[in-house]
């Protein structure tokens, strides 16, 4: 057969990346409906790649599919933010410890910090920050652990996008990133892991204070 299967996946990938970029830069806002026909017309494609892209985005937690509401951009609230960041607090510091125990190169993390400092806009800075964190956990030696952290990256980026729109705090986060890298390069695995944990915890607590009304005694 002369038919090549590549055009549909490439269109799907194009639509997927475009929608994801719009969500992570605030072009598409939490709760906003994503109508297949409108998106297809906007991208100049059929509904099929749009439908496939939305399914993938639902799998990564960026959009929500509902029988009644259709597809919408995931809404970020304190509960969602703490759920995602709790996973990061549990897994990322341990992954960093393991990366350092294996004497992994941290050059990619250093380069990501430079890109974050030189970023022209919030989207570029967010991407560089994600690359920094990934460069710390990716060489941990456990592909499943790295994959689990990869799976929450987009949701974490959505949380930070919403938080930065309300309170731009990336200068503080950049300083914390530099301190984490300094400790890691110095071989202080416990110090670097602790700084990473505190960095993740302080961001989500500052941006999304937990509701305490039903915890009061």
What is the spatial distance between Cα 154 and Cα 130, in angstroms, rounded to a whole number?
Answer: 9
What is the spatial distance between Cα 116 and Cα 171, in angstroms, rounded to a whole number?
Answer: 10
Q: What percent of the chain has pLDDT over 70?
A: 92
Structural domain boundaries of the chain?
Answer: 7-73, 78-207
Which of 38, 53, 79 lies closest to 208 in space, CA to CA? 79
Which of 187, 191, 183, 99 lies closest to 137 in space, CA to CA? 99
pLDDT of residue 211: 56
Instruction: Return the axis-axis angle of helices 153-166 and 122-137, rounded to nearest 10°.
Output: 140
Residue 216 has pLDDT above 80, yes or no: no
**Confidence band, pLDDT 50/70/90 cuts, at residue 120:** confident
How do residues 74-113 score in pLDDT, each as one tens digit?
999 999 999 999 999 999 999 999 999 999 999 999 999 9
What is the spatial distance between Cα 116 and Cα 121, in angstroms, rounded to a whole number?
Answer: 9
Residue 1 in tokens: 């057969």
**Are 64 and 105 a contacting pair, CB within 8 Å?**
no
Does 78-207 match 7-73 at the fold level? no
> CA distances (Å), 118 to each of 24, 134, 164, 182, 185, in order?
19, 19, 17, 19, 22
Residue 182 has pLDDT above 90, yes or no: yes
Instruction: Return the axis-axis angle of helices 122-137 and 107-117, rounded to nearest 10°.
Output: 170
CATH placement of domain 7-73: 1.10.10.10
pLDDT of residue 67: 85
How do residues 122-147 score in pLDDT, each as one tens digit?
778 888 999 999 999 999 999 999 99
How do residues 185-202 score in pLDDT, each as one tens digit?
999 999 999 999 999 999
What is the spatial distance between Cα 173 and Cα 109, in angstroms, rounded to a whole number?
Answer: 14
pLDDT of residue 9: 65
| Residue 77 DSSP one-character state | -
Q: How far apart are the first and last CA of the chain?
A: 71
Question: CB-based contacts of 75: which residues, under 8 Å, 6+ apart?
Answer: 30, 31, 64
Which is more confidently placed, 4 or 147? 147
Q: SS3 string of 156-171?
A: HHHHHHHHHHHCCCHH
How do residues 18-42 score in pLDDT, each as one tens digit?
999 898 888 899 999 999 999 999 9
Instruction: Please check whether the domain covering 78-207 is classified as CATH 1.20.1250.20.
Output: no
| Residue 76 DSSP one-character state | P
Residue 8 has pLDDT above 60, yes or no: no
What is the spatial distance between Cα 217 and Cα 213, in angstroms, rounded to a whole number?
Answer: 9
Q: What predicted TM-score, i.e. pTM, was given to this entire model? A: 0.82
| Mean pLDDT within 7-25 | 84
Residue length of the chain: 217
pLDDT of residue 108: 97
């Amino acid at each position: 057969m002369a038919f090549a299967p590549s055009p549909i996946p490439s269109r799907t990938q194009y639509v997927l990346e475009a929608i994801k970029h719009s969500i992570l830069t605030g072009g598409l806002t939490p709760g906003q409906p994503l109508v297949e026909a409108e998106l297809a017309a906007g991208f100049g494609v059929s509904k099929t790649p749009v439908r496939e892209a939305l399914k993938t985005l639902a799998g990564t937690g960026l959009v929500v599919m509902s029988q009644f509401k259709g597809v919408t951009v995931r809404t970020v609230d304190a509960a969602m933010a703490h759920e995602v960041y709790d996973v990061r607090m549990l897994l990322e510091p341990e992954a960093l410890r393991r990366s350092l125990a294996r004497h992994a190169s941290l050059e990619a993390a250093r380069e990501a910090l430079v890109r974050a400092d030189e970023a022209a806009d919030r989207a570029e800075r967010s991407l560089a920050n994600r690359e920094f964190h990934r460069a710390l956990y990716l060489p941990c030696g456990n592909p499943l652990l790295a994959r689990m952290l990869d799976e929450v990256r987009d949701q974490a980026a959505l949380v930070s996008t919403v938080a930065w729109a309300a309170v731009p705090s990336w200068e503080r986060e950049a300083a914390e990133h530099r301190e984490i890298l300094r400790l890691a390069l110095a071989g202080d695995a416990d110090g670097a892991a602790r700084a990473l944990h505190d960095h993740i915890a302080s961001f989500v607590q500052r941006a999304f204070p937990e509701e305490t009304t039903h915890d009061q005694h």
